[in-house]
């Protein structure tokens, strides 16, 4: 015996009535809004390598493209600083007394700090030294110290972090305590003290070493945490059971897994290193005259910011643009190469 369902006569009660198709049936899925980040499965399904994904994302973001162009321009400026100075016709230490007015306290002749065909960015008050030659040479000094110190920090921090995370036990305890001890020091005060007492040494080498000594624990902690999540993965256990040495496992299996966060962290380290070098030079314990530095030039220009504001604005603008460009580029790389680490 069958009973009729409310939907109509003759329909068995055990068979539900067919519901009408939803209005969205047959319609294509809505496309993501322009500029929205792709879902993780979609990005993974493309089969792109991290570098291909990074290039695609960098091309898609206008602000990052501009930052990348600024970074490339700054690096080229630093590399070609001697030739650019010669192209301008002046060396960083060459005085031009004809470009300043001795009866006005050595103020630059002409408007905007003496900017003109002879001196593209004007001249320093009193000395008449060409600002363009000094700014590009200062870019070379600042980026050289920043890149060299970052290399020391990244290599030391990566090695310590991998060793602590992979071997664990006493090795992890010893390296972790060393990280805590280094991070507990007031680094800026110690940098000022160490640079103040050092005499007759290469200031660039000394600043690079001092900045590198206090900067590695941050990288080491990031790498240690990443290594702890990788050391018990199936492919690492398989390599260990297969008789691979610890060195081979660390270099072939663990290191590639931490490269993404390390690269992102490295790009974010560089603007901090540039700012640290500028701060130390501003305080008078960094690069010494006559070698130019952006921080040193800003410190010297403070006395003339009312009478010759261009002397203050030009090195400040270069320092601001370099820090901003590297920061934006580092944020983008962190979002691409280490998305989980960039979440709050």
User: Is the pLDDT higher at 285 or at 336?
Assistant: 285
- Mean per-residue pLDDT for 218-231? 89
Whether residue 13 has pLDDT greater than 50: no
The pLDDT value recorded for residue 230 is 86
The pLDDT value recorded for residue 112 is 87
- Mean per-residue pLDDT for 211-226? 89
The pLDDT value recorded for residue 312 is 92
Query: How many percent of the chain have pLDDT more than 70?
Result: 82
Q: How far is CA 193 from CA 142, 143, 213, in A?
A: 20, 23, 14
The pLDDT value recorded for residue 11 is 44
The pLDDT value recorded for residue 40 is 40
- Mean per-residue pLDDT for 150-179? 92
**What are the tokens at 283?**
């305080």
- Mean per-residue pLDDT for 4-32? 45
Q: Tell me: the pLDDT tens digits for 230-257?
A: 888 888 888 888 888 888 888 888 888 8
The pLDDT value recorded for residue 101 is 83
Q: Tell me: the pLDDT tens digits for 70-92?
A: 999 999 999 999 898 888 888 88
Burial class, 123, CB count within 10 angstroms (exposed 0-12 / middle 13-18 / buried 19+): buried
Buried b (16+ CB within 10 A) or exposed e, 88-105: bebebeebbeebbeeeee
Nearest partner of 119 among 98, 142, 140, 141, judged by Cα: 98
Q: Name the CA radius of gyration of the chain, rounded.
A: 29
Whether residue 341 has pLDDT greater than 70: no
Cα dihedral sign for 98, 103, 107, 109? negative
Whether residue 227 has pLDDT greater than 50: yes
**What are the tokens at 111?**
């408007």
What does the alpha-carbon distance between residue 49 and residue 28 come to, in Å, rounded to a whole number?
28
Q: What is the mean pLDDT of the chain?
A: 80
Whether residue 94 has pLDDT greater than 80: yes
The pLDDT value recorded for residue 270 is 92
The pLDDT value recorded for residue 131 is 92
Whether residue 12 has pLDDT greater than 60: no
Q: Tell me: the pLDDT tens digits for 269-317?
A: 999 999 999 999 998 888 888 888 999 999 999 888 888 899 999 999 9
The pLDDT value recorded for residue 339 is 61
**What are the tokens at 124?**
């320093």
């Amino acid at each position: 015996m069958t009973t009729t369902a409310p939907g109509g006569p003759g329909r068995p009660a055990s068979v539900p009535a067919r519901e009408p198709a939803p209005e969205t049936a047959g319609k294509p899925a809505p496309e993501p809004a322009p500029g929205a980040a792709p879902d993780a499965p979609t990005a993974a399904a493309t089969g792109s390598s991290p570098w291909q994904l990074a290039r695609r994302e960098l091309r898609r973001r206008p602000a990052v493209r501009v930052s990348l162009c600024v970074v490339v321009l700054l690096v080229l400026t630093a590399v070609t600083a001697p030739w650019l100075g010669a192209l301008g016709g002046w060396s960083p230490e060459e005085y031009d007394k004809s470009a300043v007015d001795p009866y006005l306290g050595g103020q630059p002749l002409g408007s905007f700090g003496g900017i003109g065909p002879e001196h593209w960015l004007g001249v320093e008050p009193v000395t008449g030294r060409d600002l363009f030659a000094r700014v590009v040479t200062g870019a070379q000094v600042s980026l050289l110290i920043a890149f060299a110190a970052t290399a020391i920090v990244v290599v030391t921090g990566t090695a310590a972090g991998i060793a602590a995370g992979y071997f664990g036990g006493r090795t992890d305890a010893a390296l972790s305590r060393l990280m805590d001890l280094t991070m507990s020091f007031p680094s800026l005060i110690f940098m000022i003290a160490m640079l103040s007492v050092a005499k007759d040494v290469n200031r660039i080498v000394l600043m690079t070493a001092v900045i590198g000594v206090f900067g590695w624990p941050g990288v080491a902690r990031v790498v240690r945490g990443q290594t702890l999540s990788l050391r018990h993965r199936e492919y690492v256990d398989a390599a260990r059971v297969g008789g691979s040495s610890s060195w081979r496992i660390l270099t072939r299996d663990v290191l590639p897994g931490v490269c993404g966060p390390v690269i992102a962290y490295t790009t974010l380290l560089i603007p901090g290193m540039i700012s640290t070098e500028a701060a130390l030079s501003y305080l008078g314990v960094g690069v010494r005259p006559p070698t130019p530095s952006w921080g040193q030039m800003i410190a010297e220009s403070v006395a003339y910011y009312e009478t010759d504001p261009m002397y203050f604005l030009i090195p400040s603008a270069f320092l601001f643009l370099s820090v901003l460009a590297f920061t934006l580029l580092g944020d983008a790389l962190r979002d691409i190469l280490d998305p989980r680490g960039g979440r709050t």
